[in-house]
Structure 1
Amino acid sequence: MRALKITGILLLVLILIPVIAVSFFGGPIAKAVVNSLNNRLQTEIKVADYDVSFWSNFPDLSVNLTDVEVAGSDGSDLLMAETLSCLLDMGSLFGKIRVDEIIVSDGSLNLIVDVDGNSNYQLTGYTPIGEEVPADPDAEATEFAIADARFKNMEISYRDAQLQVYLNGSIKQLSFNGDFGADEYLLGTDGLIDIYHLDQEGVRYLNQQSLSLEAQTKVDNVRNAYTFAPLRVETGDLELSIVGELTPTQDGLLTDLRIESQSGSLEDVIGLIPPAYAGNLGELETRGELELTGSLSGEWTGRKYPKMDGQLIFSDGRVGSPRMNVGAKDLNLRARFVYLDGPSGGVQSFAIEELTGLFRGEPFAMRLSVEDLNDPKIELSANGSFPLGSLPAIIGEGPITAGEGFMRIKDLRVAGLYEDMLRPRRMGKVAAGGSITFEDGEITLNENKLRFPSGTLELRNNEMELTDFVFEGPGTEISFTGKATNLIPVLFADSLNTNDAELIFDARLTGESFDIDELIKLSGPTEAEEEQAAAEGKTDSLRAKTVARRVLITDLLRGRFDAVVEEWNYEKVEGENFRGQLIFSPQRLEVTGITDAMKGRLEVDGEVYFQELLRVEGRVKALSIDAEEFFEQGENFGQEVLTSDNIEGKMNANLWIQTYFTPENEMDYEKLHVLAGVDIANGELNDFKMLENFAFALKAGDLERVRFTRLRNFFEIVDETIYIPRMFIQSSAANLEISGSHSFNQYLDYFIKVNAGQAISNKIKKHDDELEILPARRNGFFNLYYTVKGPLETFEVESNKRAVKDDFSRSEYRKERVRKQLEELFSEPIELLEAAAETEDEG
Structure 2
Amino acid sequence: MKRLKKILKIFFISIIILILLGIGFTFLFGDKIEEIILNKINSKLKKELSLSEIEFSLFENFPDASVTFSNILIQESFQNSSDTLLFAEEGIIKLNILNVISQDYSVNDVEFNKGVINIKYNENGDPNFDILKDNDEENNNFELNNLNLSNSRFTFSDEVEKIYTSSEIDNINLSLTKEDEKFICNLNGSLRNDSLVVDEVDYINNKNVSFNSEIEISDDSIFITSTNLSIGGVDFKNLNFDYSKLSSEYLLTTETENADISNVIFATPKEYQYLYEDHEISGKISAKVEIRKDTNFANPYSEIDFKLNNCKYKSKTQPFELENIYSDCHFDNDSTKRNFDFTQFRFSNFKSSKKGGDFNADFTLTNLNKYYLNVEMFSSWELRELNDFIEDSPFKNMKGTVSGFINYHGNLSFDSKMSGYFANSTHTADLNFKDVYLNYKESELDFVFGKMNWEVDNHNVKISKNKFSVSQSELSFNGNIDNLILYILNEEEKININGKLASDKMIFEELFTITELSSEKEGGVFIGPPNLSVLPTWLDVNISINVKEFWYNNFTSSDFTTDVNYDSKNLKLTADEIDMQTLDGSISGDVIYFENKLHDLVLKSNLDVNKINISDGFKSFDNFNQTFITNKNINGIATANIYLQAMWDKNYKFYSPSLHMSSQLRIENGELIEFKPMYNLSDYVSLEELKEVKFATLKNKIRIENEKIIIPEMDIHSTALSVHVSGEHSFANIMDYKVSLLLSDVLGNKVKESMSLEEIEHNHEGKTTIQLKMSGHVDDPKITLDKVQLKEDIVNEIIEEGEEVIKIIENKILNKEDPDTKEEKEKEEELDIEIEWDDKNPKK
User: What's the TM-score, normalizing by structure 2?
Assistant: 0.49
Indicate the structure whose relative CO is greater, using CA pairs within 8 Å and at least 6 residues apart: 1
User: What's the TM-score, normalizing by structure 1?
Assistant: 0.49
